[in-house]
Amino acid sequence: MDTTEKLIVCGGCNAKLGPGKLENILKDLHQKEKPDVMVDFETTDDAAIIKVNDDTAIIQTIDFFTSMVSDPYLFGKIAATNALSDIWAMGGSVVSALNVVCFPQEMNQDILKKILQGGLEKVNEAGGFLAGGHSIQDQRPKYGLSVNGIVDPKKIWKNDTCQLGDDLILTKPLGVGIITSAYGVDAVGEDAFDNAVDSMTTLNKYAADIIRDYPISACTDVTGFGLLGHLNEFLDDKYTAVLDSTNIPILPSAYECAGDLLTTGGGERNREFLKGKIDFTFDDIGLEEVLFDPQTSGGLLFSIDPKYTNDVLNKLNTLDLRSSCIGHVVEKEDQEIIVK
């Protein structure tokens, strides 16, 4: 690719504000309750849900960021895949999307065209319709989508309703933040980077289509707050999660890079926010960094009664990316998450 058609690598979900900052801001923002609003930002869930009637509710979400790859077409695909994911994390189906674009006036316009092409392809793959969008001039390219979906109001998946005794299942491997950062400084090769790209451009639609046939207790997608940050929201200070480190799927080379401290600023923000809430029962800095690592377009994390675990995993593992039961929900202990 011509160097004039490359993007500066500086973002993805690693560019998100830290969870602590958002929590402090949002706790003071309150609005008048409306009976048709079923989910809003006060529950820190993945999207808003507004009831239309007894059979239909609208899901509304937005996500955009700076690029974590230099290829604009690839950036468009990743950013769109990431934004669309919130719809499936709530149990819904994608209906429509709007582009959200920030782009420098003086930059090669072919770059923007490639970004938009990548995004359009993923919206089409999701079964949605790209209805337009909004753009502004900015110093650095940013891209994402505002997405609308629909869901049965009786079948909404929320991120804070896991049940005691549930198994925890993750549908994508961890480590994309570490891999893309390491690739940017030539610390990993093309194979490792390609594995991360395959994960980031795989729609969570396919996993959601499988698990919607089961009684899911809770669901979220793992993005900028890392596995541990999103699991912290998942437990809602009501339970403790015990994780089995040997079952956590990790991208090839991510663990080694993390052990060499090729990590991200977002991971350090996640670690700081969760201080005192995690009990690592053994000393392994590489594993710790992977679990704190911000994921761009990460997998679904859901909880389910253990009697369904083997069956749902057998079906999920017909897909290209490996899903795994990574732990279970127990009575509340001193630490919110225990890693064994």
Which residues have a catalytic role annotated?
A: 13
Question: Is 221 among the annotated ligand-binding positions?
Answer: yes
The angle that helices 72-89 and 190-200 make with each other, rounded to 10 degrees, is 40
How far apart, in Å, do the first and last CA atoms of the chain sit? Answer: 45
Question: Is 135 among the annotated ligand-binding positions?
Answer: yes
Question: Is 237 among the annotated ligand-binding positions?
Answer: no
Spatial distance between the Cα atoms of 276 and 290, rounded to a whole number of angstroms = 18
Residue with tokens 């690029």: 67
Question: Is 297 among the annotated ligand-binding positions?
Answer: no
Helix and strand counts by DSSP (H, E) for the chain: 11, 13
Strand, coil or helix: what is 45?
coil
- 277 φ/ψ angles, rounded to the nearest 5 degrees: -105, -10
Residue among 88, 326, 96 nearest 207 (CA): 88
- Is 172 in contact with 150 (CB distance < 8 Å)? no
Spatial distance between the Cα atoms of 293 and 301, rounded to a whole number of angstroms = 15
Question: Is 45 among the annotated ligand-binding positions?
Answer: yes
Going by their DSSP bridges, the two strands 216-221 and 142-151 should be labelled as unpaired
Question: Is 44 among the annotated ligand-binding positions?
Answer: yes
Residue among 247, 255, 205 nearest 87 (CA): 205
DSSP string, 114-136: HHHHHHHHHHHHTT-EEEEEEEE
Question: Is 149 among the annotated ligand-binding positions?
Answer: no
Spatial distance between the Cα atoms of 336 and 340, rounded to a whole number of angstroms = 13
Residues at the binding site are: 16, 43-46, 63, 86, 133-135, 221
Residue ranges for the known binding site for ATP are 16, 43-45, 63, 86, 133-135
> Annotated binding residues for Mg(2+), as ranges?
46, 86, 221
